[in-house]
Structure 1
C-alpha cells in the first residue's frame, strides 16, 4: 500500500487502498441548457448534469499509479468527456476556480502535479460500506473535499461529492432558496444513485457539508429518515444567513432533527465578515451534538483545496497550526462517523472526552457537547445498574457509599457539576434501583460496564466512602480510562484500622442484622457519621435516604482487588484530590492522610463542620473545593468558577 501523500501531512491510512470513480449522470426532469449550443449544434444531453466524485475502499495493487491533483480539478468540466480534456477546457476550469487558487499567484504547477492518494478505477474491496454524501458549497467543485474523502475511504467509507452548478448552464449558483432547492434535488438524485452501488450499505448514511451546503443537508435530513448523522465542516447551520435560509423553507422543522450532529467552526477572523449564529445547535434537544471550536482555522480551512493544500505547498506563518488543526478535523470526522454509522464504542468515547483527554492541545480546539440526558439501566454480569446522566463535556462519574443511600445523596453535586461536565451518577450493586447481588461480583467490572454502555472512554471519578474505594480499585485496574480522582473519606481495601474503629464498624453491621430501624438509629447516633452541626436538614435527608434504601446483602459476595489496594496506591499516577470532614472519625482522617502521603502529587483538604458525609453536610464547600481542583487540571469543557 502506498505511503500517505504529501497533502495528508502524515494522516494515518486506514486498512484499505483508495479507489476513485467519476460518474456523470443526467437529471432529465430538469433541463440545464438549450436544445442547441452556441454554434447551433444539437445538444446531446439537455438534462442537468450531476458530476459525482466517488472515493471508495479498494483492494491493494502495488502497480497502481495514483492520480494527480489536476485530474480532480478538470473533472468539474461539464462539457468534456472525463480524462479527454482539451487544453481550452482545462484553462476554462482553472479560470472558473481562479479565486480559489489566488494564493498560488498564477503558478499552479506545484498543485496540479501533486500526487493524490486515489487510484482511478481501482478494484472495489469486498463488502458493503457506509456512505457519506458531501454537499456542495456555493459554486464549489467536487475536488474541494478530496483529502477528507480519501482519508475516509481508506477507513472503510464510500464518500461522494459533486460539482456545484448554477440553475442553468453559464449561471452562477444563487445564494437564495432557489439555489437551496436545487441543491436538495441534486442530493436526492445522488442519494438514489448511491443506493444502486453494490459496495454501499445504504442503511448507514451520513451527510456532510461545508459553507452554504449545510442548509440543503439539514433540510434533506428533515425530509429523509434514512439519514443517520450530519457532519458540518463550518457549514451554514452555524451562521446567521444559514439560519435565515432554513426558516424560509417549508421543510424546516427542528423536531425532525433527531440524529447526531457535529459542527466545527474556526475562530480566526474570516476574510469576509459573515456573522455566526449557533441557534440551530442550541435548539437541538433530541440528538447527541458536538460543537468544536478550532482556534487556528478560518472558514476556508475546513475544505482541503482552500486550506491544507495551500498551507502544504505555500508556507505562511500560520501554516503549521492550520495543517495540525485540519488533521484534527479529519480525526474527529472519522470518529464521529465510526461512532454513529459503525457503532464503534471507542470512537464514541473519543468524542465524549475533552480534546485534552485525547492528547489534543486545547490551544488548537475546544469542545462543547450535548449528550443524551436522562436515566436508564445498564446490564452487568448477573444483574443491572441504574444510572442518571446530564450535562455536557468531560465525563464525571459519581460513586456513592455509606449507609445504603442511593444516588440521590449526590443531588447537590449532580446539579452543580453538570454546568461544566457530563455528570453520571449510578447506584452500585445492592443499592437503590440497582439489582441485589446473588453471586460473587466485582464493583470494578460493574463500573467498566457502565463506561462501555455509555460510550465513555475516560472519566474523572468522584467517590464517597466505599464509593471512593471502588474508584481507587478502578484506577488501579483501568488506569488508561482514568483522568483523575476526587475522593471523600475513601475506604481503602486492606487498610488496618485501630481496634476501636473496628469495633465501631462491627456495630454498624450488627445493627443492620436487626433491621432498618436499628441500623439507621445506630448511624444517626454515631458522633462521626453525620454530625452536621450547621446543617440539620442534612441529617433528615440522610435518614430518609437510608430508610428508603435499606436492603442488606452478603458483603462477602464483593470481589476484592488482589493484591489489596493499600499495597498498590502508590501506582496511581493521575491527579488525586482528597476531602475529609474535620468531625469524621480520627482513623478515617488518618486513612485519608495515608493516601495523600502515598500517592504522588495528591492534594488533601479538610472541610470544617462536617463528619463522614461531607457532600451532604457541607455541599457548598465540597463543590467549591472539588471544582477548583478540577479547573486547575483543565478537566472541564468550560469554566463557571466564580459565578
Structure 2
C-alpha cells in the first residue's frame, strides 16, 4: 500500500502537471541527430501465448481477451515532425495501460507521478513534488504519429521497459536514423523475476522475439541491421534471444541480470542458450552498488567468441540505470553527465557494429568510470547446425573434424562434438554407404573417449 503522504504528494504533483506549461529540455535538443523523431504506441497481442485458460478453475468463463498483450513503443526517424512534442509525463503514463492496451488518462498520470517520486527516493535524488513536476513537464523531441522518413532504417529492439523509461535513449537513437521498438514488462513477469526467474527469462525472451518479428513486418526497417538493447532482466533476455535467433549485429545490456550473482547459471539453464552462438560484439554497463553483493563477470569471461566490454560508471546505481531519472532537475551533475556519456557510448557502439560506421568511441572522463574492461574474441566456433552442415550435409568430414579440434584446443573444456554424436554421424554415413566418411568419425570418437 502506498504511504499516505506519498499519495498526497503525487496527487498535488499530477494536478500541477496538468496545468503548467511545458518546460524546455535542452539536453534532448542538444543530442538530437539529423532526423526529426516520431513516436507511436502499437497495441498488439501475441496469439502464441495466453494470460491463462479461457475458463477458470471454478468454471467461470473469462469474457476479456486472454491473448498475451504486448504494448510496443516505437520511435522512428521523421522527415517532418510538426506538432507538440512529447513530455516526460506523457511517456510515463503509458506504463499504466501496458496490460489493458488502452489509452492513458488521469489515473495513469497520477500513478506515474507517484512512481517517479518513489524512483527519486530509491536513487537518493534530493527534492520533492515540485522537482518531480518539473521532470514530468520536461520535453523531448518526438512528435506523436509524425510522418516517417523513407526507409529502410536500422532497427534497435529494446528490452528497455515502458516508454517512460526508454524515451531519452530511444529519442536519441531515432534522431540518428534508427527505428527503436521496445515492449513493456507485464506485472506478473516482474513478480516472476524474483520468485521464478527461469520463467521470467523465457517470457521476456519470447517477447523480444515477438517484437522483432512484428516490427520486421513493416517496410521501414532493415532486417539485416539489427541491434538488441536490454535493461535489467532484459539484458539476459537479449542474450538468450540472440543465442536462439542470431539475428542481431550487436547486443547492449544495461545493468543486465547476467552480470549479477547466478546470472550465468540462469542463462545456462535456458532452452537455446549456448555461448558458442554469441559471436557478435557485446557491451554491458553494470551498477555501482558498493553495499550490494559483488557483481559476477563469469559469463562475461566465458563469452569468448564475442568482443566484449564491461563498464561501471561511478555513482550510477541500480535505480539510475533501470529507471529514467535524466529529466529530474535535482539529479547531481556527475550522475547526469555519466548518464549522458552512457547514452553516447551506446549510440557509438550501435553505429559501429549495426550501421557499420567507423568512428572512434566518444571520450569519457576517467573520473566518471569506476571500472572498464575489454576482452577480444577468439575465432568463431561452429554451432551445432554448422557442424551438421559440415559433417553430414556436405560430407566434408575431414575439414569439419579439423575445425572442431582447433576450436577445442583454443578453448580448453569446450566440447563441440562428443564421442556419442560422432558415432551417430558415423552410423548415418555407414547406413548411406559412405564408409570413407564414417571412418574418421569413428577414430575421433575413440580419441575423445580415451581423453575423457
Fold shared by both chains (TM-score > 0.5): yes
Residues 451-507 of structure 1: CA distance to partner in whole angstroms, max 9, x if unpaired?
Answer: xxxxxxxxxxxxxxxxxxxxxxxxxxxxxxxxxxxxxxxxxxxxxxxxxxxxxxxxx
Taking only aligned residues, the RMSD between alpha carbons, in angstroms, comes to 2.9
Could you say what secondary structure the match of 1:23 adopts? Answer: strand
Instruction: Give structure 1 stretches of 5+ with no counterpart.
Output: 352-357, 375-643
Closer/same/farther in 2, CA of residues 33 and 190 from structure 1, 3 Å limit: same
Indicate which of 326, 329, 339 corresponds to 1:308: 326
Larger mean Cα displacement after TM superposition, 105-114 or 324-333: 105-114
- The answer as to 2:309 corresponding to 1:290 is yes
Partner-residue secondary structure (3-state), 2:86: coil
Q: How far apart in 2 are the matches of 1:275 and 1:360?
A: 24
Per the alignment, residue 433 of structure 1 pairs with: none
Matches within 5 A, 1:172-571: 172-175=191-194, 176-269=197-290, 273-303=292-322, 305=324, 307-310=325-328, 313-315=329-331, 319-346=332-359, 350-351=360-361, 359-365=363-369, 367-372=372-377
Q: What CA distance in whole angstroms lies between the structure 2 residues aligned with 1:6 and 1:96?
A: 21
Kept in 1, the 8 Å contact 2:98–2:184? The answer is no
Q: Give the distance between the partners of 2:215 and 2:142, measured in 1 at CA.
A: 19
Query: 1:143, CA displacement in angstroms?
Result: 2.2
Q: Which residue of 1 aligns with 2:9?
A: none
Deviation at 1:216, TM superposition (A): 1.2
Match of 2:79 among 40, 43, 59: 59
The answer on whether the counterparts of 1:5 and 1:117 sit within 8 Å (CA) in structure 2 is: no
Distance in 2 of aligned mates of 1:31 and 1:7: 43
Match of 1:88 among 65, 85, 107: 107
Distance 1:5 1:229, change over 3 A: farther
Distance 1:9 1:304, change over 3 A: farther
User: Is 2:153–2:177's contact at 8 Å kept on the other side of the alignment?
Assistant: yes
Distance in 2 (CA, whole Å) between partners of 1:93 and 1:34 is: 31
The answer for the alignment partner of 2:135 in structure 1 is 111
Q: How many Å separate the matches in 2 of 1:206 and 1:116?
A: 23
Alignment-derived partner of residue 133 in structure 1: 157
Q: Distance in 2 between matches of 1:142 and 1:173?
A: 21
Q: Contact (CA 8 Å) 1:69, 1:113: kept in 2 or not? A: yes
C-alpha separation between the residues in 2 aligned to 1:245 and 1:75? Answer: 30
> What residue ranges of structure 2 are gaps of 5+ in the alignment?
1-22, 380-452
State the TM-score, normalized to the length of structure 1: 0.50
Question: Counterpart in 2 of 1:520?
Answer: none
Distance 1:249 1:303 in 2: 23
2: CA distance, partners of 1:232 / 1:160: 15
Alignment partner of 1:46 out of 48, 66, 84: 66
TM-score by length of 2: 0.69
Distance in 1 (alpha carbons) for counterparts of 2:276 and 2:61: 51
Q: Verify the 8 A CA contact 2:69 2:99 in the aligned structure 1.
A: no
Q: Alpha carbons of 1:295 and 1:197: their partners in 2 closer, same or farther (altered >3 Å)?
A: same
SS in 2 for 1:144: helix
In 2, distance between residues paired with 1:156 and 1:206?
13
In structure 2, relative to structure 1, the CA distance for the partners of 1:239 and 1:34 (3 Å cut) is same
Q: CA offset at residue 190 of structure 1?
A: 0.7
Q: 1:9 to 1:22 in 2, by over 3 A?
A: closer
SS at match of 2:327: helix
Contact 1:9 1:323 in 2 (8 A): no
CA displacement at 1:227 relative to structure 2: 1.7
* Residues 617-628 of structure 1: pairs in structure 2 closer than 5 A: none
Q: Find the aligned partners of 2:156 and 2:218 in 1 and give their Cα distance.
A: 13
SS across alignment from 1:161: strand
- The one-character-per-residue Cα deviations of 1:106-147 (angstroms, maximum 9, x if unpaired) are 5542232222221100110112111111115xxx53421210
Paired with 1:202 and 1:16, the residues of 2 have a C-alpha distance of 20
- The answer on 1:160 being equivalent to 2:165 is no
Q: Structure 1 residues 89-98 or 182-191, which shifts more?
A: 89-98
Once the 2 structures are TM-superposed, how far is the Cα of residue 217 of structure 1 from its aligned partner?
1.1
**Is this contact kept in 1: 2:37–2:75, CA < 8 A?**
yes
SS at match of 2:283: strand
Distance 1:240 1:275 in 2: 7
Inter-partner Cα distance in structure 1 for 2:173 and 2:256: 19
Q: Structure 1 residues 198, 299: closer, same or farther in 2, change over 3 A?
A: same
| Contact kept? 1:8, 1:147, Cα under 8 Å | no
- Contact 2:154 / 2:221 at 8 angstroms: preserved in 1? yes
SS at match of 1:116: strand
The Cα shift of 1:185 comes to: 1.5
The answer to which structure has the higher helix fraction is 2
Residue number in structure 1 paired with 2:92: 73
When residues 173 and 130 of structure 1 are mapped into structure 2, their CA distance, relative to the original with a 3 A threshold, is same
What whole-Å deviation, never above 9, does each CA across 1:606-631 have from its counterpart, x for those lacking one? Answer: xxxxxxxxxxxxxxxxxxxxxxxxxx
Deviation at 1:9, TM superposition (A): 6.1
